Amino acid sequence: MEQKFTLRHLREMKARGEKAVMLTAFDAATARWAQEAGVQMILVGDSMGNTVLGYPNTLPVTLEESLSHTAAVRRGSDKCLVVGDMPFMTYQLDIHEAVRNAGRYLKECGADAVKLEGGRTMLPLIRRLVEVGIPVMGHIGLLPQSVLKDGGYRIHGRAEEERKALLEDAAALDEAGVFALVLEGIPRELAEEITASVRASTVGIGAGAGTDAQVQVLADLLGYGGDGYLPRHAKRYASVHDIAVQAIREYASEVRSGTFPDQAHSVSMTPAKPAK
């Protein structure tokens, strides 16, 4: 990518029917990987809670943790569109506080936008954020921050009542001005219907191939955590956990046997003579 990817580029891609690629990242190194691989948008997802911070789900992630990781991602990527994912209870209580918290992603971290979960109940907040100039990515369907209320993770929108509610949520959020809408864990036919009916770019995860963009969780894609868990919608492209453990095992074994550090990885009192 030569140019910084912006909301305008995303809109133009939807108009041309071209797919955009989004991936989660959580620090400068993973952001660099994503940018080098040609990913256009990075979500500093609160999935960092269960994939890298060791929490059981996304609920314990704090605003300060999320801001710190978003800033690190921005430092690792100057070209990707970076979206900070607002953690549970940082935007649900009070619009004033939510706008202040959202603003910190742009002012302190260099993020380009924020994401928040929820349908029509989020409309007053989304309208206010858009009014003050904060680009918003909505998120409907399976909402990880509602895992306790829902009693687990499940597909949404198969029942007619839920399908209708999701169509209405999508239309309302679109009208309120979200620039993009994550559709998570919904049938592909419904995702296609929403994609065709909204101006915003849809970003699917577990929603089939018919959305304007796709997003995946980096740890799923790379086999990062080593816990063997892989959601049905995710595909494992590498086993970074296995590669890392093997490399660390070799290091530990060389330390124990005394073969590391060898002369090439240490210095002596007499400096090496420069090669002629």
Residue 150, C-beta contacts closer than 8 angstroms, at least 6 positions apart: 143
* Tokens found for residue 99: 């706008």
Q: Near ligand KIV by CB under 6 A, which window of 41-49, 89-97, 170-178, 187-195?
A: 41-49
Burial group, residue 262, by CB count within 10 angstroms (0-12, 13-18, 19+) = exposed
- Binding status of residue 24 toward ligand KIV by CB under 6 A: yes
For helices 63-76 and 28-36, the axis angle rounded to 10 degrees is 40
What distance in Å separates the CA atoms of residue 257 and residue 203, rounded to the nearest whole number? 51
Query: Which residue in 184, 189, 192, 254 is the catalytic one?
Result: 184
For 137, list phi and psi in degrees, rounded to 5. Answer: -105, 120
Nearer to ligand KIV, 117 or 192 (CB): 117
Q: How far is the CB of 243 from ligand KIV (least distance, A)?
A: 23
85 binds ligand KIV (CB under 6 A): yes
Catalytic residue flag (residue 2)? no
Q: With respect to ligand KIV, which residue has the nearer C-beta, 152 or 258?
A: 152
Q: Is 47 in the site for ligand KIV (CB under 6 A)?
A: yes
Residue with tokens 């990781």: 69
Is 89:64 a contact under the CB 8 Å cutoff?
no
Interface size with ligand KIV, residues (CB under 6 A) = 11
Residue closer to ligand KIV by CB (options 52, 260) is 52
Name the residue type at position 173.
Answer: L
Contacts to ligand KIV from residues 186-245, by CB under 6 A: 205, 215, 217
Q: Which residue is nearest to ligand KIV, using beta carbons? A: 45
Residues with catalytic roles: 184
Residues that bind ligand KIV (CB under 6 A): 24, 43, 45-47, 85, 182, 184, 205, 215, 217
